[in-house]
Amino acid sequence: MKRFLSAVLAGVMALSLMAGCSSGGEETTTTESGNDTTAESTGLFPAVAKEDLKVGVVHITDPAEGTGYTYTHDLGIQGMQKNLGLDDSQIIRKNNVDDTDATAIRTALEECVEEGCQIVFATSWGYMDYVEEIAEEYPDVLFAHGTGYKSNGKNFINYFGKINQARYLSGIAAGMKTTSNKIGYVAAQNNENGEVTSGIDAFAMGVESVNPDAKVYVKVTGSWFDPEGEGQAAKSLIDMGCDVIAQHCDTANPATEAEKAGVFAVGYNSDMAQKAPGATLTSVMWDWSVFYTEAVQKVIDGTWDGQNYFGSMQDGLVTLAPCSDLCAEGTAEKIKEVQDKIISGEWDIFDGTTEYEDNQGQTHTLKAEDYGTCNWYYKNVEVA
């Protein structure tokens, strides 16, 4: 059945080619000779007429919840849809797909294929191995996996970005605000996960840049999505005396717990000020529409090249919410000073040459693109 579906989809994609296009690994070019114009297909896969396009997206939760990880990714899908003028019927969503449930993941991905999607976005780290398998089974369908590190250079890519840039800047806000010099950090995973760990380190470095006396205390939930556990972790950190709570987890619960306790928060994914206006200093955010628009446009144009995507503040994928009135005096100005250096290319964190000391006294260098290899905590980080 799978091979049959692959064959059918290949036929559909081929039929949607613009006249004169051909498949293959050539670049798309347009040449003019007199009054005749000839378009040559480029990219690894044939172009898909926009009206024939279907885009699949697999989410770990329901974007209707209105904050956090899935919500932000779906804002990106909506932005792409608007940018490219797609109908609602062209977006196939599979929500609440538990990234620890192998059957649910495979079912969601296969349903996207069966419903005619030429490209499928899988947004959670835990989907990675299953997307890799499905991509091999359906070589004529394109798959893009959010975060992670696997890809095949053909129909399976990964996408992420320099979120560490915004993490560092948010650390400045936290470091300038704390009076206890104890800053909490609710983390979805421990230091075996480089995505989370490199973000903690960047945040801690930002803290240190303005407050060398402060420490960052990490509480690990062990789950990408655990509303209750995230709230409990925040409470524990607050009980330790942390007066700013940062996070790398899916819900706004750390920020709302901070607000209840009368301390402050640094949000993640979306602007947590909408859920905890009395606590949120700023939020580390993504504009996923930057990537989603680019990727789907490549499908329409027939210029898909199988290359992974790694965006930044420079291209608008990574952003930071404006500093709230709760921030310490001078915070916005200090953040702008450093952000301007990042965007201009004058300076960047994790440049592959700067040496950083971890909390065990060892030194490391790190390239932003190699964030997945980061398994060490910066010198001012402690596990709570």
What gap in Å lies between CA 142 and CA 119, rounded to an integer?
A: 4
**What pLDDT was estimated at residue 28?**
37
The pTM of the whole model exceeds 0.95 = no
**Residue 192 token pair:** 């075996």
CATH superfamily of 163-285+320-383: Response regulator (3.40.50.2300)
Give the mean pLDDT of 36-47.
65
Question: Could you report the per-residue pLDDT of 189-225, keeping only the tens digit for each?
Answer: 999 999 999 999 999 999 999 999 999 999 999 998 8
pLDDT at 176 over 60: yes
Burial of 4 per CB tally in 10 Å (0-12, 13-18, 19+): exposed
H or E segment and range at residue 326: none
Average pLDDT of the segment spanning 304-316: 97
CA-to-CA distance for 243 and 56, rounded, in angstroms?
Answer: 41
Of 215, 185, 162, 181, which is closest to residue 378 (Cα–Cα)?
215
- Domain-wise residue ranges, the chain: 2-161+288-311, 163-285+320-383
pLDDT at 18 exceeding the cut of 50: no
What strands, in cross-sheet order, belong to the sheet with 91-94?
A: 91-94, 55-58, 119-122, 142-146, 156-161, 309-311
State the chain's mean pLDDT as an integer. Answer: 90
Tokens at residue 262, please?
């009368």
The predicted structure's pLDDT at residue 41: 54
> Residue 147 region, left (φ>0) first, then alpha (ψ -120 to 50), else beta?
left
Whether the per-residue pLDDT at 181 is higher than 80: the answer is yes
pLDDT value at 38 more than 70: no
List the one residue out of 171, 179, 58 whose CA is nearest residue 111: 58
Question: What is the reported pLDDT for 250?
Answer: 87
CA dihedral 139, 145, 149, 151 (to 10 degrees): 10
State both tokens at 242: 């942390």
Percent of the chain with pLDDT over 90: 85
User: What pLDDT score does 284 carry?
Assistant: 98
Residue 9: pLDDT band (50, 70, 90) is very low
- How many residues belong to the chain? 384
Given a cut of 70, whether residue 2 has pLDDT beyond it is no
Assess whether the region 2-161+288-311 and the region 163-285+320-383 belong to the same CATH fold.
Answer: yes
Could you identify the residue written with the tokens 């499928």?
A: 120
Cα-based distances in Å from 207 to 56, 170, 178, 270, 379: 39, 8, 10, 21, 12
* pLDDT at residue 148, rounded to an integer: 85
CATH topology of domain 2-161+288-311: Rossmann fold (3.40.50)
Lowest mean pLDDT among 6-20, 89-103, 190-204: 6-20
Confidence of residue 268 (pLDDT cuts 50, 70, 90): very high
The confidence band for 82, taking pLDDT boundaries of 50, 70 and 90, is very high
Question: pLDDT class for 65, splitting at 50, 70, 90?
Answer: confident
By the 8 A CB rule, do 158 and 147 touch? yes
Task: Indicate whether 30 pLDDT > 50.
Answer: no
